[in-house]
Structure 1
């Protein structure tokens, strides 16, 4: 394969974290992904208990939903850290590397605004799910027989993830600016 026939945006390049935060997110996310296996096991346990022993559990469904939802939320920052987020490749792959940097800047600025607004909105959700209107600490629960505080915990996780996403966008904007200043990939 000649130098001119190599793709401009290789998978190998996409796998490399762009900063320390991305590297940390990738490492933590890969470790957390093992919780999917745990979710399969407890779901199998529920099926076994319900249909073989006629003794359904009270905790498996909500716990599996909480774990799956939490991992789904973490998947957003993982996708951004590994550069696997959605983009219009028909346009992106047809332009020069310099133009890609400008497209990335536009994406990151819009993404930063979105993530900032979502962080604020999720903070207000956390506030109401962790405290009563008169200010006492009380975690919102599911209201089921098991009644875990999963809704409050998931809302807090969403807030934390959006704060991390804000930091990711800022670091990616800085990286693109440095790349443009150094005239890389021109």
Structure 2
């Protein structure tokens, strides 16, 4: 295989595989601008604290919240672009047919993993959003500002895990259909 064909194969490997993946990639590219916002507010905090001796109470928690949400979103983005971690030493050494079987195994294990994490995230989110008596009461940070960011991060984890479960199911179906065609 020449270098140009390898380059084309790698480009297509990292393309979104379905509509959900394409939406995730577009959303992820837009959300990545929040990293710039996080840097800007962190710079603002440094300026306020060390130049004007007037620190904020909201920047650290906001930056941490945004970073956590973007980190969680990165999981479904990596899956959508097929840039997740895999053992390439084995994967690259086998035939295309064996790779398809490895992909099916990967998607089945991923589906189980995402299903279990979705269940755990649901339990975690339920306790972060509802009081023991069933009233809606968002978990807060407990700081002087006390935003409900812990509850929001847990909701984000739950939503992301639900999407990842669907992604693994769609990828598994596509891989099985691809196996039948070959």
Matched, 1:31 2:30: yes
What's the C-alpha RMSD, in Å, of the aligned pairs? 1.5
Count of residue pairs brought into register by the alignment = 182
* C-alpha distance in structure 1 between counterparts of 2:20 and 2:113, whole Å: 19
Residue 45 of structure 1 corresponds to which residue in structure 2?
44
Residue 169 of structure 2 corresponds to which residue in structure 1?
170
- Residue ranges of structure 1 left out of the alignment (5+ in a row): none
Residue 144 of structure 2 corresponds to which residue in structure 1?
145
Offset, 1:13: 1.2
Residue 124 of structure 1 corresponds to which residue in structure 2?
123
Offset, 1:16: 1.3
Residue 84 of structure 2 corresponds to which residue in structure 1?
85
* C-alpha distance in structure 1 between counterparts of 2:147 and 2:2, whole Å: 59
* C-alpha distance in structure 2 between counterparts of 1:17 and 1:137, whole Å: 38
1:16–1:82 CA contact under 8 A, matched in 2: yes
* C-alpha distance in structure 1 between counterparts of 2:164 and 2:92, whole Å: 25
Tell me the alpha carbon deviations over residues 45-103 of structure 1, each in whole angstroms, 9 at most, x when there is no partner: 00000000000000000000000010000000000100000001111011111111100
Residue 11 of structure 1 corresponds to which residue in structure 2?
10
1:73–1:161 CA contact under 8 A, matched in 2: yes
TM-score (normalizing by structure 2): 0.96
Matched, 1:111 2:110: yes
Local SS of the residue matching 1:10: helix
1:8–1:93 CA contact under 8 A, matched in 2: no
Q: In proportion to residue count, which structure has more helix?
A: 2
4+ aligned runs moved over 6 Å, structure 1: none
TM-score (normalizing by structure 1): 0.94
Local SS of the residue matching 2:6: coil
Local SS of the residue matching 1:7: helix
